[in-house]
Structure 1
């Protein structure tokens, strides 16, 4: 329980069974007035029913916040992350991780607006999300009271949760009475499936787990070719049609879905110390990552590009572990954003049976000089003989080492 009395709490509320139980539990255990916040992050489900469920639970109409934050999510969180080409442990595009700071931010803003003294979330005590939510809360409001029901309540089983729900007349859908085959988290960037039928990492995920993509085997036999325009590192148009951030990512998701792109079966290292197996689908993000690297390949200097690649794993760990509002993430973001000032141009991409291939790239800021790289005699002064001295200087320490070893 919280160390001090709580009068009003802002709950991250999906309207599902778990957060509905949490809502009632906060009312009964804390005697607190509950304010609900439901975010439309592009999860693909109708969120308006959450209003009726909150009202039925006794939440005042003025304390129910349902917001479409898709544009803010993509513009201020997804795109900045993709400027860094962010990938966790070599594969994961961080779809769940990047959504948590936005939810935490809005909860704190709402808490200030309504005068709440606490915030709450529905993350379990074994996962990463509890860390991400709470680091966000404390990073924005250091003295806020945080209530994490899964770490506090006495329910020992799912049956106990269902009994509590029935006692308080919380609607339980038929599929919630049995064992759920797996749990799902989704937003405009990705879907994530974990648990139950996916817990054995040696067993291939059933096809029904995949909700955002068709299988690559069932994808069209003809490739789809598109162009993506970039300005300062962010995509702004597809096939010449300008789009808002959320609209553009939605379109890329459709293209990726139809071509079987973006599936990932991953065993990852959670921040809390255990390994977990997840099945992720990030169709639009997978296309975006390849295209962004394509435009960077002709606009970024070698030193800047390689430094970015060195910084990226640190940036990815900060996002994965929940340190979005940390000074080190903001420092890295400033460096990354500076690197993107000339990352503008157009990339042509081929989508085919689960694969994304960059097949063309142009930019007014291109550093690619055909006269320099051609096998023919170029117009730019480049003396092949200069390479000999360059090689000998770089080989100097190797020659010294070799001579020493020969003497030995």
Structure 2
């Protein structure tokens, strides 16, 4: 197969791992054009510079390796956390929220280098192909997209290994034969799926969890900390003001050592398949619980309830790859508007897999002990007798239904 007439230069999202290295060589062999690689450092914990050297060694025309950690947390993770986002009630979307950032920078590099195509390493059964490609098209409608997993005839792990060996691509020993499972990591989470995890009825082995110790092995003494919020975003821990990435890094460290943020989930992929994944989101779990705590005293009831109604739709948009869609941006505007008074301090206790709210306080608090107290208070004009009419009016339709349809 030859595509040299249709594409002049490709920007490849390149991790430096085996699959994207095979893709790099496959693109060179089949498209006969210049390849630019882009490796995003979003806190995955790998030696990013190895990806640079590997791409150069394999003949990439230009090599981009960039640290996007602050942008990732500030412009993608924190906006999502303001919405208390959970997909299907539990998943904190660590992988989906990273893809639009990588795609955005890929498109920018394509424009900087004069590339007319972009490529990614997402498989044909997964969600990431949608997340990458919907973002590409939203940002550059005329871009050419190359998805090798949908084009090539390498349909098995064995054929992939054979291709790698034929083209002198180093195959790590743990990738030979049956790969135990696939791992994706960034500052928000580590996810593991595939192979030994493909059977939901089988308990995952402890060694699969790489970003946290087990709750049983966590310290016997709790970790207590204060998290300060301003307009819905965390800004400091125990009084120390940190950058967005610094906040998440610190909470990841504290959460990991206390066994917080583990999730064993069977989720519904956009393409229609169910998938079992293991997710570790220590810092994000702490922030999610703390953010809801500070909202509980600063948000108006109906505003908070409306946010909760909007959240599943917002989560689904991110999961399915519609970060750059106008409806996601519209929802984001509503969510961000709700955060103007969400400032204050939440005290958390981290203990053996649990992130517990100890206390919360805010100068914008809507909680009033004088009004809610069961004791007599002369500081409010709440009339107990008003409840009688309130109840009767709300019961009117219920009474009429029973009377008229009896």
Please classify the TM superposition score into its range, dividing by the shorter chain length.
Answer: over 0.9
Greater CA drift, 79-88 or 154-163: 154-163
Counterpart mapping for 1:207-246 below 5 A: 207-246=206-245
Counterpart mapping for 1:144-223 below 5 A: 144-223=143-222
Cα shift readout 1:239-283 (whole Å, capped 9, x = no counterpart): 110000001100000111011100000000000000000000000
- 1: CA distance between counterparts of 2:4 and 2:141? 15
- 2: CA distance between counterparts of 1:236 and 1:117? 40
- 2: CA distance between counterparts of 1:317 and 1:124? 20
Cα shift readout 1:211-248 (whole Å, capped 9, x = no counterpart): 01110111111211111000000000001100000011
- 1: CA distance between counterparts of 2:151 and 2:133? 15
- 2: CA distance between counterparts of 1:194 and 1:264? 12
Cα shift readout 1:145-202 (whole Å, capped 9, x = no counterpart): 0000000001132222222212221111111212111000000000000011111100
Counterpart mapping for 1:368-383 below 5 A: 368-378=367-377, 379-383=379-383
Shift of 1:404: 2.2
Provide the secondary structure at the position in 1 that maps to 2:141.
Answer: coil
1:57 is aligned to 2:58:
yes
**Conserved 8 A contact 2:11-2:115:** yes
- 2: CA distance between counterparts of 1:107 and 1:383? 62
Give the TM-score taking structure 2 as reference length.
Answer: 0.98
- 1: CA distance between counterparts of 2:33 and 2:160? 20
Residue number in structure 1 paired with 2:388: 388
Cα shift readout 1:116-139 (whole Å, capped 9, x = no counterpart): 000000000000000000000000
Residue number in structure 2 paired with 1:398: 398
Provide the secondary structure at the position in 2 that maps to 1:23.
Answer: helix
- 1: CA distance between counterparts of 2:109 and 2:100? 14
Cα shift readout 1:43-75 (whole Å, capped 9, x = no counterpart): 111110111111111123xx1000010000000
Provide the secondary structure at the position in 2 that maps to 1:247.
Answer: helix
- 2: CA distance between counterparts of 1:157 and 1:95? 27
- 2: CA distance between counterparts of 1:315 and 1:369? 32
**Conserved 8 A contact 2:228-2:345:** yes
Size of the alignment, in residue pairs? Answer: 404
1:130 is aligned to 2:148:
no
Residue number in structure 2 paired with 1:32: 33
Give the TM-score taking structure 1 as reference length.
Answer: 0.98
- 2: CA distance between counterparts of 1:399 and 1:342? 40
1:139 is aligned to 2:148:
no
Provide the secondary structure at the position in 2 that maps to 1:377.
Answer: coil
Where structure 2 has 5 or more consecutive residues not aligned to the other structure, the ranges are: none
Residue number in structure 2 paired with 1:252: 251
**Conserved 8 A contact 2:4-2:31:** no
Structural RMSD (CA): 1.1
Residue number in structure 2 paired with 1:93: 92
- 1: CA distance between counterparts of 2:5 and 2:336? 42
Residue number in structure 1 paired with 2:111: 112
Shift of 1:4: 6.3
Task: Say if 1:4 and 1:90 are closer, same or farther in 2 by CA, change over 3 A.
Answer: farther
